[in-house]
Amino acid sequence: MYRISLILLISIVFTNIFAKTVIDKNLTWVNDIDFSADGELLACTNNQKINIYETQNWQLVSVLENIHTNTVLSIKFLPNKQQLVSCGLDSLIILWNLSNTDSSVILDRINEIATFLTVSNNNEWLAVGTANGKVFLYNLLQPQNKHILNFHSKTITGIAFSPDNQFLACSSGDKKISIWECNSWSFIRSLEYHRNWVRSITFLPSSKALVSAGDDSKVFFYENYKEKNCKAFKDNSILLGQWIISIDYQSNGDMIIAGTSRGNIYLLNPLNNYILKTKYQIARIKFRPLSYQFAVATFEKGVIIYTTTEMKAKRNRCQYLTKYY
């Protein structure tokens, strides 16, 4: 039984709660996945390529290729659904046009491995993290407007914009999370509560809290993350007992999902807490927008889609989520 901070007991999921679909048997090693904002498309990395699937029947509809010269590590749909950005081991940052791939462009060729990227919710800024700890910022509306954030000493593992686009958070292998103000790109503070690599960060939809997870097996919740006196108290953390590789939240609900290095998936909400055991090492985990499905990128089995068919209330409660949502 895992020891959990707070009043939190994890219950084992039975197979009838989730329906599982492997979307493409030709896929094996997948580094990243992303859904379009309307949930109608799923993109996943495939070595030097990016596969695009429609989510009604999980059929392959497009392959983005012939620009990246090495493995793609991170991808992100732009809110307009017609464009996607990618980066990877070849140091290229590419803006793909899904309606006409011939018009896709290389935004930049940096001199270091690009490990993670994301786009602001207002479609204005692209943030790209590197293996050397830098974060490159590109204004998608004014390409000449570019910034570089220097704070971290190790690989950037995650970047997240707050829902109101006012703040940027970056996680790193140096055990730190940096918080930046987006109007001036001024540094606000560093959150230093993890004792090992911070692997994943996300803001809750209400913007009330920032959530982080990492190799110390902990999920932290930060209130008032933009304030210099922000603290992550012991009773605002969960200890899952395994390296946590990726976390995400359900945009139309109150559930947080966490994937671990041992292939376990934890679903946490105020009423129900589940653990789903898989046999595959997890690279990324994401909810499909406006649905009760989530996608899991693995290093052995490609992409697996889980559909929740039943979520009965149980005696277990994850009390902090009620507070933050």
Per-residue pLDDT of the chain in tens (325 residues, 90 and over written 9): 223 333 333 343 334 456 788 888 889 899 999 999 999 999 999 999 999 999 999 999 999 999 999 999 999 999 888 899 999 999 999 999 998 888 899 999 999 999 999 999 999 999 999 999 999 999 998 878 899 999 999 999 999 999 999 999 999 999 999 999 999 999 999 999 999 999 999 998 776 789 999 999 999 988 877 766 665 544 466 777 789 999 998 876 678 899 999 999 988 776 567 788 888 999 999 999 988 899 999 999 999 999 875 444 343 444 444 454 4
Domain membership flag for residue 6 = no
**C-alpha distances out from residue 248 to 160, 228, 244, 268, 294, Å:** 11, 25, 11, 11, 10
Q: What's the total number of domains in the chain?
A: 1
Backbone angles phi, psi at 106, to 5 degrees: -85, 115
Domain membership flag for residue 273 = yes
Give, for 254, the enclosing helix (H) or strand (E): none
Q: Look up residue 223 and give its two tokens.
A: 């209130």
Domain membership flag for residue 2 = no
Domain membership flag for residue 141 = yes
Q: pTM for this structure?
A: 0.88
Q: What is the DSSP string of 39-93?
A: SSEEEEEETTEEEEEETTTTEEEEEE-SS--S-EEEEEE-TTSSEEEEEETT-EE
Burial class of residue 121 (count of CB atoms within 10 Å of its CB; 0-12, 13-18, 19+): middle
CATH number of the domain bearing residue 123? 2.130.10.10
Which domain covers residue 263, as residue numbers? 11-324
Domain membership flag for residue 175 = yes
Domain membership flag for residue 205 = yes
3-state SS, residue 167: strand
Domain membership flag for residue 245 = yes
Residues 238/257, Cβ–Cβ less than 8 Å = no
